[in-house]
Amino acid sequence: IDFVIPTNNKGRKAVALIYYLIAREYLKNRGVIGEDVPFTYEEFLERAMNVQVRVVPQQFQKGRRRKRKRK
C-alpha cells in the first residue's frame, strides 16, 4: 500500500462507495474503461451484494492443522 485514504466507514454503504471509487479510478488508469462509461454506483452495489463467498472449513485454514495422535 502506497498511501492511506481517510474515509467514513460508519454508514451502511460507505465502504462499498469507497471500493466503487477506487475500482473505477483503477480501471480508468489502466484504460479498461473510458471517462464516460455509464457504470453507476447502484449497479456496482447490486453486483457486490450478489457475490457468493465460499467458506473454508477451519481444518484447512493456513496455520491450523490437526495434531497427530502420538502412539
| pLDDT confidence tier of residue 58, bands split at 50, 70 and 90 | low
pLDDT confidence of residue 71:
66
Mean pLDDT for the chain overall: 75
How far, in Å, CA of 16 to CA of 48, rounded? 8
> CB-hemisphere CA count at 13 Å for 45?
10
Q: What is the pLDDT of residues 13-53, one digit of tens each?
A: 788 888 888 888 888 888 888 877 676 777 777 777 776 66
Phi first, then psi, for residue 33 (nearest 5°) are -120, 155
* pTM beyond 0.75, yes or no: no
Give the pLDDT score at 23. 85
d(CA 41, CA 44): 5
Please give the angle made by the CA atoms of 9, 12 and 44, to the nearest 5 degrees.
95
Mean pLDDT of 40-69: 66
71/62 Cα distance (integer angstroms): 26
